[in-house]
Structure 1
Amino acid sequence: MFNAPRRMGGGGSISSSAFLTSPGMSSSTYNDPLAFTVPAPGVSGGFGDLDPWSAVPSPARSGTPRESIEDPREREIQPAPSSSGSRDGLNGLINDPPAIYVSLFDQLDVSSTGSVSLASVHRLLATSRLPALAVEKIINLTSRDKSSLARQEFFCALALVALAQSSSPDDEITIERLSASIPNLPLPDLKPASPSHDHHALSPPSNGYDVPHQSVTASTSTGFDAWDSTPHTNANGFSDSHQPGGGHVSSGYSANGSAFRSDGVLDESQLGYWKRLEHVEVALITEKEGWFLQKYRVESDKRSAGAVSRRYSDFVWLLDCLVKRYPFRLLPSLPPKRIGPDASFLEARRKALKRFINFLVNHPVMKDDGALNVFLTESSFEAWRKRTKVSTDEESSSKKLNSAQEMAIPSDLDEKLGILKDNLPSILGSYQKLVLLSEKSLARLINHSADSSRLALSVNSVSESLNKSCFKCSTYHNGEISVTGDSCSLCQGVSKGLLDVGESWTRIAEETEKRVAIITNHIESLKYTRDLYLAFRDLFLRHEKLSKDNVDALRKKVEGRNKKIEGLKNAAKPGWEVEVDKLVAASDQDSSTINTLLSRRVFIRACMWHELSVVFHSRQAAQTTLGWREFTNYQIEGVQRLQSVWEGLKERLEGMPIE
């Protein structure tokens, strides 16, 4: 079964131990931001110490030993202990490197600063044909969060490349292994540009977003084409186009909740889901209920009830219902609670609640759920909950599959699920880093916008003060400086030019604010995709806990009764018929339960296959592709607007006097 323990990690895995750790210090494992955040089985959306909605860690539950996740790159760089016969280990490599190491360093150190930029190192290492994750780990080991690599760090990076290229894809690469392997270490296989070329030419030929022809044209096992590029995207990376009339769009799924028709073929009406998305807005209501209870204004663009107000506990109730009804479907996680939250946390939670509810309303099965519809439309929700008993029966109790739909489930489903399960930790860690780095970029952009405004103010102040400091334009009278009526042409022209400069910096600040909005939307797009992977991680955990049944135990009981029945018949003691009738009735009841549980097993497999092949497969492709397309287009537009600002300023400054 795919829930059995599996070997984690893929090809090219490299240990992220400390670069040149001090003697006697063992290497730490790679600092996976999600390594200590596995939720408890059966609990949807536990994140441990990690707060996935913000770069600021949550103060709750701090039970993780900090020593075990210490970032090794923050340690002091010291030579590793030498190994016997290894030319004094890394010291020997650094002090007497191969000629190709020196040549590559000199080629990239065009400014003779004694270091090479991280971008140049990345371009060079990209030609090694190592996996991207391996290159990233090598850079993380050697750069220590710096923007450049010194000579010894660069040499160590090349040695790590050689070690990775000469090792098995499953081998862990550590500084200790590197030191021990130096005597037999081959030269790294790189394809740098000729020294006569510009060092930027080290980048290998790129095909952009092109994919092999067969990857585009070949249909998957579900017949889904993930490369449909027709829709135009909105800020969330999805299409704004909806069905005419704006009514609630039915999922089109069969009554059994499957994307497959009665003949077992995928329902083609489910393709292109992003063209008919429902959008739900979640806004924070400023007025609190009581002293601290916060409410949210929730409104869908496809349900006619208008806006309704909901508390955080209402979202919790909804998720609890859906987990019980659809335990083997992809379900999003809720953001955490916090006592005394500040404004930034409330905003982060609002965005997370918006992602949560939009995930649900656009799931092909749960979008038509009655509890979800009431949550989005009932104005007196608390009163409705008090007077209404909501059924939380599992969907397998009311939905059945026919033989064709059962045959549509692949026999190697466990293997397909296992592939995703093996790679989830790595891709979740990568997405968490993408989010954190994007939030850092956003913070810098916000500061840049503020600094641009301050620059504009300062330049304007200089323009106004220019006449006061000119001996031709000002006079000193009664201890005060007064500006004469006529300014000299030089001061007048320079002052006008400075006003143009100030105006341009103001426009730069405005354009930067627009870029802040772009980055903010892009971060949400990344989080939408990250939430999808988190949902599948939680699905695996729920499956492991909730898919178990007692079929084997019931079969043993039935077999035992059958033997007892035979013994009673053979003995033929007085009253044996009554005892046999009781045993037969109990066996019939257990046999019926066994059949129900066996049907449930098949339905669970159908759910897992549907979530993997239809929901997950289409969304990870569409959200990733459309999100990055939108981000790229907005970035190009922003750069063009910035260019027009500077070009316009350049033209105006041509008339600014010099003397």
Structure 2
Amino acid sequence: MSLLSENDCFVKTIKNFNKRPYLFRKASLEDEVTKNDGMLLSYVQKKKIDQQSKKHLLDDRDVPFVYHEMFDLLNKSNGMTYNTLRKTVESSGLPHHVIERIINIMFLRINEDTLISRHHFYLVFALVGISQNGEYPSIETLEKYKNNLPIPKFQNINNSQLVLSYDKILEINNFLSEFILNSKQILSSSPSLEGTNNIQEHMSVYINNVSGPNAYPLVTSNFWNFNFIIDNVFKDNRERSFLYNIFNILNPKQVLFSVDRINIQLVSKKEGFLLFKHINYILFSVIRNSRVIRRYSDFLWLQECLIKKYPFRQVPLMPPKCFSVNGHYLSVDSAFLERRRRGLSRFINAVVRHPVFRDDPLVIAFLTVPSELSLWKKQFVLTIRDEFEDKVMDDDLGLNFPSSFDEIIVNIRKTINFQIDNYIQLCLIVERLLKYQEGSFIILFSLILINIESATEMMLFSLLINDFISHINQGISVVSKHFLTAQELLEEEAKVLNEEILEDLKCQRDGLIAIKNMFDRKDRLDIDNISFLEKRVDNNLDKLSSLNVKVGMNLLDKEKIEKFIMKDKELIATQKSRRFLVNKCILTEIIYFQISQIYIGKLYKDYAQERIKYTELLAENWRSMEIQIASMPSAFI
């Protein structure tokens, strides 16, 4: 008896007198049924063994994020019981016998109110998605799709539960719409978008706290807008699964929140001989709890290694070692050293944020080896190779690669220079504004304090009305004190905006330039001669066919041509494999860049909070001054 017929017999036999499924009955009745039927008893024992093995079928960290958010959504609304899961599965549109098949694969002896674990929920959802793709639901099929799980669709989960309103979607979505939405106009004509004048209103989110008081729409909307784009832009199921797999590998929550922070301090004392002195930097790693000393050339070496090993990834920018005008190097002052320190900080923190770079052995050694890096490099023979060397693509993945990849790249490259220019201008304007603000405040308040002190000295000579003058002098001292406090607050605000907000803007600028440099390296290094080889193979095949027609052909010539054909076909396969791996890498980097755009929202949020903070402190300072000078004479009675 086949597994399917055995299962059908099992479900049919164990219906009770109320016609309730066996899954809802008590254990004693189940034992009574199975005890009298040897086939069913063996099936139940087999199910118990399989139940233990199912715990290791899927790794919860590898399932798509949609699974996580769907579980949180249903668990929050009704509690994740068997009854809730059953109703959800029944809304998938699958035939009744397929639903029974999925349920009976996963559960044995379970009541309606029994709570379902997250892992079993993922397994059921995976089987539903597999069934909707036309595959037969089984453990073997689940193993087949283990690394490329499909996304199931359900009728009872509508957009109102999974979509953020427009007022909750912030500026971060602009980059997503520019880079991907514009590349597929089919999205605007999708039936699910009818009746709207703004694509952003339907950015789909799977979110568990959207209506709660502590919801963070900026963070969650960035995650799940990408899922919405995948579902609506890429209609092919294989393309969607491919992109979901990439998005899942990047793990946005880990990319954004489980990030090390490297603090860099400048060592004031130079080291080295008379004419060859250099500046050292102390690097503090927060997560690794390490402290190392590095010099500028060490940072430059790390960047060169990353470019050599990962030429098709967005390697961060390095600040210049010095500036020159017409071949003459400018003097290195404290202001330039501080700017270079900040540039190095942006570089190394961008490296540790990157999901691939931060696990590279060279990066780990750079951040943890306590000795000088030059001495450490002498102890090893470092061989740095391209990350795609000796790698071969999976044939199935090549079929699932998005067909619109070239169109997306073209659209990105059309706008990248414009975005870079915008951020360069924005950084220059903000930097000049902060310097002007800081300098003008210092001059203005210095003049005010000088005039106040002069006025105080002028008042001291009068002895006509001692009490009157003493109150005036006390009031002026209070005013002087509060003006000094205001000056300190404004200077502190300008310093915070300069060190944090401006640096965040420069990080966005550097990220865009890194993307452009990645495309430039691709144009320079990703070169193949596939078309030439294919033409040569065709010509050799024609020669081979002509030789076969001839009478008394030379076997040596035939073997020679066959070897040429096989060699060229191997080269074609190798170059196509590399092309696919490079394109997949570029696509992954673009997705990572989209995820990292959440820092734009954080940037403006921090800016608003800092302005509010210092505005309130200034208001409190003036309020305190008003109270303290209340006794200061202001009129004669």
Normalising to structure 2: TM-score of the pair?
Answer: 0.58
Q: 1:367 aligns with which of 358, 362, 366?
A: 358
Q: 1:587 aligns with which of 565, 588, 596?
A: 565
1:105-124 paired onto structure 2 within 5 Å: none
Conserved in 2, the CA contact under 8 Å of 1:324 and 1:394? yes
Conserved in 1, the CA contact under 8 Å of 2:540 and 2:561? yes
Q: Which amino acid aligns with 1:394?
A: D
Offset, 1:585: 3.1
Q: Give, in whole Å, the separation in 1 of the partners of 2:265 and 2:400.
A: 42
Partner residue in 2 for 1:86? none
Offset, 1:654: 2.6
Partner residue in 1 for 2:595? 618
Q: Give, in whole Å, the separation in 2 of the partners of 1:565 and 1:513.
A: 82
Segments of 5+ residues of structure 2 without an aligned counterpart are 1-195, 223-239, 323-328
Q: 1:534 aligns with which of 500, 513, 516?
A: 513
Range that drifts further, 286-295 or 528-537: 286-295
Partner residue in 2 for 1:323? 307
Offset, 1:396: 2.0
Partner residue in 2 for 1:63? none
Q: Give, in whole Å, the separation in 2 of the partners of 1:457 and 1:415.
A: 63
Offset, 1:362: 0.8
Offset, 1:505: 1.0
Conserved in 2, the CA contact under 8 Å of 1:459 and 1:499? no
Higher relative contact order (CA 8 A, sep 6+): 1
Offset, 1:499: 0.4
Q: Secondary structure at the match of 1:639?
A: helix
Offset, 1:530: 1.1
Q: Secondary structure at the match of 2:293?
A: strand
Partner residue in 2 for 1:451? 443
Q: Give, in whole Å, the separation in 2 of the partners of 1:315 and 1:261.
A: 35
Partner residue in 2 for 1:647? 623
Offset, 1:456: 6.1
Whichever of the two has the greater Rg, that structure is 2
Partner residue in 2 for 1:298? 283
Offset, 1:446: 2.0
**1:295-350 CA distance string (max 9 Å, x none):** 2222222225x121222222222111211221221121111121432211111111
Q: Secondary structure at the match of 1:388?
A: coil
Partner residue in 2 for 1:523? 502
Conserved in 1, the CA contact under 8 Å of 2:292 and 2:370? yes
Conserved in 2, the CA contact under 8 Å of 1:464 and 1:495? yes
Q: 1:333 aligns with which of 317, 337, 343?
A: 317
Normalising to structure 1: TM-score of the pair?
Answer: 0.56
596 and 386 in structure 1: CA distance in 2 versus 1, 3 angstrom threshold: same
Q: 1:388 aligns with which of 362, 380, 388?
A: 380
572 and 278 in structure 1: CA distance in 2 versus 1, 3 angstrom threshold: farther
Segments of 5+ residues of structure 1 without an aligned counterpart are 1-210, 239-258, 473-486
351 and 262 in structure 1: CA distance in 2 versus 1, 3 angstrom threshold: closer
434 and 636 in structure 1: CA distance in 2 versus 1, 3 angstrom threshold: same
Q: Give, in whole Å, the separation in 1 of the partners of 2:473 and 2:462.
A: 12
Partner residue in 1 for 2:345? 354
Number of aligned positions between the proteins:
405
Q: Secondary structure at the match of 2:388?
A: helix
Range that drifts further, 351-360 or 368-377: 368-377
Say whether residues 1:423 and 2:409 are aligned partners: no
Partner residue in 2 for 1:162? none
Q: Give, in whole Å, the separation in 2 of the partners of 1:407 and 1:334.
A: 38
Q: 1:606 aligns with which of 584, 587, 594?
A: 584
Partner residue in 2 for 1:497? 475
Q: Give, in whole Å, the separation in 2 of the partners of 1:224 and 1:598.
A: 40
Say whether residues 1:627 and 2:603 are aligned partners: yes
Q: 2:614 aligns with which of 635, 638, 643?
A: 638
Partner residue in 1 for 2:336? 345
563 and 269 in structure 1: CA distance in 2 versus 1, 3 angstrom threshold: closer
Q: Greater helix share, 1 or 2?
A: 2
Partner residue in 2 for 1:281? 263
Partner residue in 1 for 2:203? 218
Partner residue in 1 for 2:248? 267
Q: Which amino acid aligns with 2:356?
A: V
Offset, 1:537: 1.3
Q: 2:406 aligns with which of 414, 437, 441?
A: 414
Q: Give, in whole Å, the separation in 2 of the partners of 1:596 and 1:274.
A: 35
1:110-259 paired onto structure 2 within 5 Å: 215=200, 217-219=202-204
Q: Give, in whole Å, the separation in 2 of the partners of 1:265 and 1:494.
A: 72
Q: Give, in whole Å, the separation in 1 of the partners of 2:266 and 2:259.
A: 23
Conserved in 2, the CA contact under 8 Å of 1:449 and 1:510? no
Q: Give, in whole Å, the separation in 1 of the partners of 2:431 and 2:302.
A: 30
**1:150-190 CA distance string (max 9 Å, x none):** xxxxxxxxxxxxxxxxxxxxxxxxxxxxxxxxxxxxxxxxx
224 and 270 in structure 1: CA distance in 2 versus 1, 3 angstrom threshold: farther
For the aligned residue pairs, the C-alpha RMSD in angstroms reads 3.4
Q: 2:457 aligns with which of 465, 470, 477?
A: 465
Offset, 1:596: 1.0
Offset, 1:443: 0.8
Q: Which amino acid aligns with 2:595?
A: S
Q: Give, in whole Å, the separation in 1 of the partners of 2:605 and 2:434.
A: 19
